Amino acid sequence: MSASPVRAWLAAHTPISANLLESSDFVATLAARMRARRAPDEPAYLRLLDTDPEESIRLQCAVAVPETWLFRYRSSYEFM
């Protein structure tokens, strides 16, 4: 894991799996959230995470996209 302060914050404050924080998608997701909140750099965004619980939830949801296997198999449809 790189020395990203936001990665370290997420690892310390959330149950998000380390492999999600190491993925290449994490960088793009973080950049998108920073743009959305007009944070010029990671330290500024980190301050936002510390003061705005809703932003923490938004970032967590963006990083850990829920995944379902229910409708991937024909047998799931047949069961229903």
The span from the CA of 33 to the CA of 63, in Å, is: 10
Tens of pLDDT, residues 28-40: 999 999 999 999 9
Residues 1/7, Cβ–Cβ less than 8 Å: yes
> What percentage of the chain exceeds 90 in pLDDT?
54
Q: What is this structure's pTM?
A: 0.75
Would you give the DSSP letter of residue 33?
H
Residue 18 confidence (pLDDT):
82
- Only one residue has tokens 């003061």, namely 51
The span from the CA of 33 to the CA of 2, in Å, is: 19
Residue 69 confidence (pLDDT):
60
Query: Greater confidence, 18 or 37?
Result: 37
Is the C-alpha dihedral spanning 7, 8, 13, 15 positive or negative?
A: positive
